[in-house]
Structures are given as C-alpha cells and as structure tokens.
Structure 1
Amino acid sequence: MAKRPPENWRAWMAEMAREVAAGISEPECAGAAEAYPESLLRATDSALETFETEMRTLAEPSDDEVFGVVEGVVLALNVVACDDGHGGVGYCTEEREQLCEYIDLTLGEHGVDVAALAGRRGIDRAEITDAWRDW
C-alpha cells in the first residue's frame, strides 16, 4: 500500500528533531515542525483516507468513476491547502509532487492503468489532477 505523504512529513520532522538533538543540524532547524502543523497533517490524512475508501468501493470502475474520485480528493486537498487554520502553511512543490504520486500509486493499487486512463482523456498521467488542483 502506498505510503501517505503525511507519514513522510512526520518522519522528516522526527529526523530533524533527532539531528538537532544530536548536534548534527543547527538549532534553527528545530522549528521544522512548523512546516507541517498537526492540523495540516490530520486534514491531509483524512482527505486521503476518504480517497482510499472510495477507491475500494469501486468494482471495475469506469473512467468517469475514477476521475470522479480523483476530483473528490483533489477538491478536498484544495480545501486543506487553503485553510487558514494551519497557520498559513499549505503544500509546497515537494508536497504537491508527493500528493500527486500518492494518488497515482493508489489508483494503480486498485487496478487502474493510470497511463491508459490518462491517454483516453488525451492527457499525460502526471496531469490527472490538473483540472481541479489549486495547490
């Protein structure tokens, strides 16, 4: 199963904390937790969990059904990214790439040939979230 991006972000914060404590990284790196407030992590996890659940309920889904689920998760992540409750923190380039990769991998894990799906829409597989994505 694809690893949700917030797991990666939590691991990075923990590693930074260990490096600061060990004197490997500068003390100013101790603020790494501010990059990923818990509210952002929880909201992102929730959106991705809903996406996973919706994908599990689809048996031999049509392209429209798959794109409907992709649209749903992207719109949910748009809300997360724009939520002022995260202290002005949203998704940067690396996080956006991880989220897109996660969506792609999760679709594949549920039997969707992402390259073929995208091809039938005349887009590249890297563009499957673009129609709805604000982050």
Structure 2
Amino acid sequence: MTTTPATANRALTDASDTTRVIGDVSNTLGKVFSYAAQDTSATEQAAKELLGGRAATQYAALFGELRQRAADQKLSLTTHVVRAGVTRLTHDRAELLVFLDQRAQRDKGAATTAAAQLSVTAQLDDGHWQITDIRAR
C-alpha cells in the first residue's frame, strides 16, 4: 500500500480523533478568550494550563496589556467557537481553521459582536490537545 499525503492526513480518515481535537481546541479558545472585567484571573490561569509554545508567549504579551484596560473600561468578552475544522492531523500534531464569534460589552453598555478567524496549531500533550500557535487570518 502506498502512502500519499492525503492518506497520511488523519483528519481525513480518523473521525474520532478529529472530533476530539476540535473539542479540546474549541474549549480552550472559549476559556482563554473570555473574561469578566472584574476578574481576569480565571482566564489567565486557563491560559497558563492550556496554552504552550508560541501561543503561551503571544497570549501573555497580549493579555498583559489587556488586563488593565479591561478593568479600567469594565470590559467583558465572551468567545464562542462557531465552526472548527482540522486541516491536518498526525498522531500528535493538529492544524485547524477556527471561526469565532466574540461578544464584547463595556460596563452596562450595549454589547457588540464580531467574528474572527484563526489558524491554530495544537500538540497532543498527556492525552490533551494543547494549543501551541495561534494566528489571525
């Protein structure tokens, strides 16, 4: 049997693992990109536990700037994964395209919703898919 790039991509042949990586990545994105103005500590803790590699470094820099602004502006953010697809999957690495809806609200003002699109790389770590890279598209 000849192995081709398509057959080597488990995203095309392994529905169970594909579903699992989508679930892990979607849950992580919802946790690390959602916060309440009065308490960002849960979001920061989730990021420390669920992100690795370049994603952890990127997030720490971004959230360091955002933490004070969120408190000052009483800004809350809720992120929901609308759709995610695995474009490449090996036994321990996955690449995904993820579409998000983000709902932001300042104090008691009207909420605004925006869509976002991310390319995400995840690594299987101790039975859990950990996000290691995030790129806006």
TM-score relative to the length of structure 2? 0.31
TM-score relative to the length of structure 1? 0.31
**Structure richer in strand, relative to its length:** 2
